[in-house]
Amino acid sequence: MRQAARLAVEQVNVRGGVRGRRLRLRVADDSGSEDAAVRAAQALYDDPGVAAVIGHLSSGTSIAAAQVYGGGAHPLVMLSPSASSPELSGINPYVFSICPTDASYGEALARFAWRALGARRAGLIFLSNDYGRGVRDAFAADFVRLGGTVVEQDPYVPTTASLEPYLARMQRAGIDVLVLAAERPGAELALREMQALGLRWPVVGGDALTGIEAAGALAEGLHVTSAYLPDQPGARNVPFVADYARAYPGELPDHRGAGAYDAVLLLAQAMAASGPDRQAIRDYLAQVGRGRPPFHGVTGTIAFDTAGADPTKSVIIGVVRKGRLVTEATQ
Amino acid sequence: MMRLDTVRLRILGGLALLGATVVSIALFSAYALRTVRRSEEAQLETVRRSGTVGNGIAASVFQEIAAGQQYLVTPTASERGQFQDAADESFAFAQELERLPGLTLEQRLSVNRIRELQGSIEVGYAMAHALRDLGRDAEASARAAAVLNPATELTRLVRTLTAALAQAAHRTEQGIAAEMARWEAYLYLGLVLAVVATALAGYGTLQAVEGPLGRIVVAAERFGEADLRPVTTGRMPREIQILADAMQQMGGRLRGIVADVISESERIAASAGDLSAISEQLAASASEVTTAMVETSRGAQGQRVELDAIGAGLAQLRQTTAEMAEGAERVALLGEEIRTVASRHRSSVASASSVLLDVREVVQTTSHQVSQLAQQTAAIDDFVDLIRRISSQTNLLALNAAIEAARAGEHGRGFAVVAEEVRQLADDAARAAADVTVTTNAIREQVEDVTATMAAGTAKVRGIEDVAGGAARGLGEIATAVEQVEQAAARVAKTAQQNRDLTERLQERAQGVASQAVAHASSAEQVSAAAQEQGASTEEMAATTGRLLQAAEKLRSLVRGFRV
């Protein structure tokens, strides 16, 4: 995400910047912690040089930080490339999201498990936060609607040391797909313990798992939903992937990076049109897709609804093949 | 500082001050109330929501624990469902807690911790349930026991947070109450200020109006008592100053007017006396004018008569002139005739001249014969002379005889008759001699006449020739003269015409003058009438002047009452 944003900023500045001024990228780390997210948000909010925020990466931190950005006398736009919680949309007028919501991810997972995997009994492990619960609820609702059964819905928190009891109980109950409404550490824990238990269920997960392909054999064959995959075709995506690979040899952008890249370019366009004022940027973004033409980025077309969400974004299913996340042929 | 020198400004200023104070107080009150209301609403909402959420989270966590424990005892699907519902409810409360407005950073971190704990409780029981389902009860009990610490901490944190929020709300309320008390004090202060300012403005305005008005009333009363001496009024508001100025001006004008009236009444009295005298003189003059005008009228009538006579004379003159013109015309006609006759006679004269030459021959012959006759008559004369001397002697003798006879008396009678007879014979003889003398003289005269006639005839014939020549010349001259006469007659006619025109004009003018004279006469009569009327008016004027005198006297006595 940071790398893609930096690439986008460099490209904008090479072309002359915005209104003759160079864009500057200020990077803050919330470490996935809501505490850190609130602190970082406050720091960014208090810096008058900050025109807009791209982030945060996850839904929980985004929701926590959104409260900071949207309050006070000089509210600041938060444009998240990857926070998918439906709780985020409409939380306040300064929050925009360019990725699909958890509902879309959950629905896509349920459809994929039912159709492509032929699963009928699903076991589900979810991170007990906004994201995990969001994916859980969306998946369960759609899977049951399709005719399947959610055998288990088991929570975990980042401090949870082992998921073995859940897996063991699922093994006993009998499932034909494991849904990980989790983040990478929890998912890797589950996969490791699955391996230890000798379990071979097909495993599907949400977009939060993106990057897990680097975990090697553990993740091989894992299906994840995503708003973006680098092997997607597209007039804008192909040069983006090439540029990214040139800038960061041997690496490919993920959906967060692609989202951040689009976010930078969209904000540059907003500032070119309306200036670097926080409120002007917010008003410009609110009109994208409603009064102004939609933005065509590497992740596809971006258009906001009244809640700052992007309902046009579709979800694709990727699969880890030989350490790479590629588009699954059978969607 | 602006001077409040008009009543209007004072009143407006006072009202504006009062209004501004009232509006400020109202705005201030409204602002205070609104601030308090909003602040209280927000605080109440925070307190209410934090209370609800805090209680909710604590209750749902307890319920979650109860259901979790219950499942460990009786692992049924319904117990598990209850646990999951409680967990979801608890999560929802935690979510809501996160969204409470107005949290400090510390409180947010506390909320994060609560959520963390809430998650670990949920996961703890879920894990215990899984272990229980797998028949690993000891592990399950241990997991369940491990939940107690987080539960205690969570309860404590929730209570702390709720208490902190309540306290914050309380502090805010206290702050609001203190602020309210301060605002109340401000309000009372403002009210007192408004009252004082209004009272001061009212008092000042009254002072500014009453004093000057009193002075003006005094001045007006003095005017009423006919004391018009100048009044001093001092400093006062502009409106009243205008009034006072007006009073001063009025006093000044009245003073001037009264002084004028006094002097004028004196003058009027004097003038009325003069006027009386003048009116008497005027009456006398009017009667003189009447007399004069009557005379004028008479004179105008006489003038008219004379002018009428002139008119008649002029008419006569015109007639005469007309006659003269007619005469001139006749002269012209006669001249024409004369010219015709003269030319005819001139030819006659020419033929007569040739006849005369023959006549001259005859006359010369006859003349010679007559001269011879004259010599023969001389002998007769001598005889006659002798007879006349005898007769004269006889007559003388007869006369002597008659004288003697008369002396003889009766005896001489007979002789007297003879003497008479002799005298008569002498007379007869004398008479016969005289007759012969006469006859002789007549013959002689005739001879002489014939001689003379002859001579004269000759001469006459000569003369006639001359005359004929002269006549011819004369006739020529006559023609010339006739022409001149005609010219003269024409001039006379022309002049007569001019005279007639002139006369006519003169006559017209005379008529005009006459009618003017008539008009003069009537004007004079009118003037005379007017003069008579004037006389009457003058008498009236005299009466009026008398009354005027009385009025002037009265006026003088009246204005004597003013003090100027």
Whichever domain contains A263, its CATH number is: 3.40.50.2300
Tell me, yes or no, whether A64 and A119 share the same domain: no
pLDDT at B150 over 80: yes
pLDDT of residue B207: 79
Tell me, yes or no, whether A108 and A221 share the same domain: yes
Residue A216 lies in a domain: yes
- A24-61, pLDDT tens digit by residue? 999 998 888 888 998 999 999 999 999 999 988 888 88
Q: Do A154 and B105 touch (CB under 8 A)?
A: no
Is the Cβ–Cβ distance between A93 and A126 less than 8 Å? no
pLDDT of residue B230: 74
Tell me, yes or no, whether A130 and A216 share the same domain: yes
Selected residues 236-265 of chain B with any CB under 8 Å from a CB in chain A:
none
Question: Lowest-pLDDT range, A19-23, B135-139, B407-411, B479-483?
Answer: B479-483
Tell me, yes or no, whether A265 and A193 share the same domain: no
Tell me, yes or no, whether A115 and A27 share the same domain: no
Q: Do A165 and B109 touch (CB under 8 A)?
A: no
Final residue of a domain: which of A226, A242, A272?
A226
> If you average pLDDT over residues A66-83, what whole number do you get?
88
pLDDT of residue B564: 65
Tell me, yes or no, whether A131 and A160 share the same domain: yes
Most confident of A283-287, B240-244, B249-253, B372-376: A283-287
Residue B341 pLDDT class (50, 70, 90 cuts): confident
> If you average pLDDT over residues B351-370, what whole number do you get?
70
Percent of chain B topping pLDDT 70:
91
Residue A73 lies in a domain: yes
Instruction: Please list, in sequence order, all residues whose beta carbon lies within 8 angstroms of the beta carbon of residue A321, skipping any fewer than 6 positions away.
Output: A220, A221
Higher pLDDT, B85 or B561: B85
- B287-302, pLDDT tens digit by residue? 777 787 777 777 777 7
Final residue of a domain: which of A170, A199, A226?
A226
Tokens of B436: 């012969």
pLDDT at B349 over 70: no
Contact list, B134 vs chain A (CB under 8 Å): 165, 168-169, 172
Contact list, B133 vs chain A (CB under 8 Å): 169, 172
pLDDT of residue B353: 65
Domain that holds residue A128: 103-226
Tell me, yes or no, whether A211 and A236 share the same domain: no
- A250-272, pLDDT tens digit by residue? 888 888 899 999 999 999 999 99
Residue A331 lies in a domain: no
* Bridge partners of residue A224, in order along the sequence: A205, A318
Q: Do A155 and B126 touch (CB under 8 A)?
A: yes
Residue A329 lies in a domain: no
Residue A327 lies in a domain: no
Rounded Cα–Cα distance for residues A50 and B69 (Å): 50
> If you average pLDDT over residues B294-311, what whole number do you get?
77
Residue A326 lies in a domain: no
pTM of the shown model: 0.53
Smallest Cβ distance to B123: which of A71, A87, A128? A128
Q: Do A155 and B108 touch (CB under 8 A)?
A: no
- A84-141, pLDDT tens digit by residue? 887 787 788 899 988 888 888 888 899 999 999 999 999 999 999 888 998 899 999 9
> If you average pLDDT over residues B104-128, what whole number do you get?
88
pLDDT of residue A281: 93
Mean of all residue pLDDT scores within chain B: 79
Smallest Cβ distance to B123: which of A64, A160, A172? A160
pLDDT at B1 over 50: no
Q: Do B91 and A63 touch (CB under 8 A)?
A: no
Tell me, yes or no, whether A94 and A238 share the same domain: yes
pLDDT of residue B23: 85
Tell me, yes or no, whether A53 and A124 share the same domain: no
Tell me, yes or no, whether A244 and A96 share the same domain: yes
Q: Do B130 and A165 touch (CB under 8 A)?
A: yes
E strands in chain A: 52-54, 77-80, 95-97, 121-127, 149-156, 177-181, 203-205, 223-226, 295-297, 300-302, 316-321, 324-327
Rounded Cα–Cα distance for residues B434 and B432 (Å): 5
Higher pLDDT, B286 or B30: B30
Q: How many folded domains does chain A comprise?
A: 2
Contact list, A71 vs chain B (CB under 8 Å): 101
Selected residues 67-126 of chain B with any CB under 8 Å from a CB in chain A:
84, 87-88, 91, 95, 98-99, 101, 105, 108-109, 112, 115-116, 119-120, 122-123, 126
pLDDT at B2 over 60: no
Final residue of a domain: which of A226, A251, A279?
A226
Count CB atoms within 10 A of the CB of residue A90: 13
DSSP string, B289-322: HHHHHHHHHHHHHHHHHHHHHHHHHHHHHHHHHH
> If you average pLDDT over residues B58-67, what whole number do you get?
87
Tell me, yes or no, whether A169 and A266 share the same domain: no
Higher pLDDT, B316 or A96: A96
- B177-224, pLDDT tens digit by residue? 887 888 788 888 888 888 888 888 888 878 777 877 887 788 788 877
Q: Do B95 and A87 touch (CB under 8 A)?
A: yes
Residue A78 lies in a domain: yes
Q: Do B98 and A87 touch (CB under 8 A)?
A: no
Residue A325 lies in a domain: no
Instruction: Please list, in sequence order, all residues whose beta carbon lies within 8 angstroms of the beta carbon of residue B280, skipping any fewer than 6 positions away.
Output: B538, B542
pLDDT at B518 over 80: no
Tell me, yes or no, whether A120 and A147 share the same domain: yes
- A171-220, pLDDT tens digit by residue? 999 999 999 999 999 999 999 999 999 999 999 998 888 888 888 888 88
Burial track B192-226 (b if 16+ CB lie within 10 A, e otherwise): eebeebbeebeeebeebbebbeebbeebeebbeee
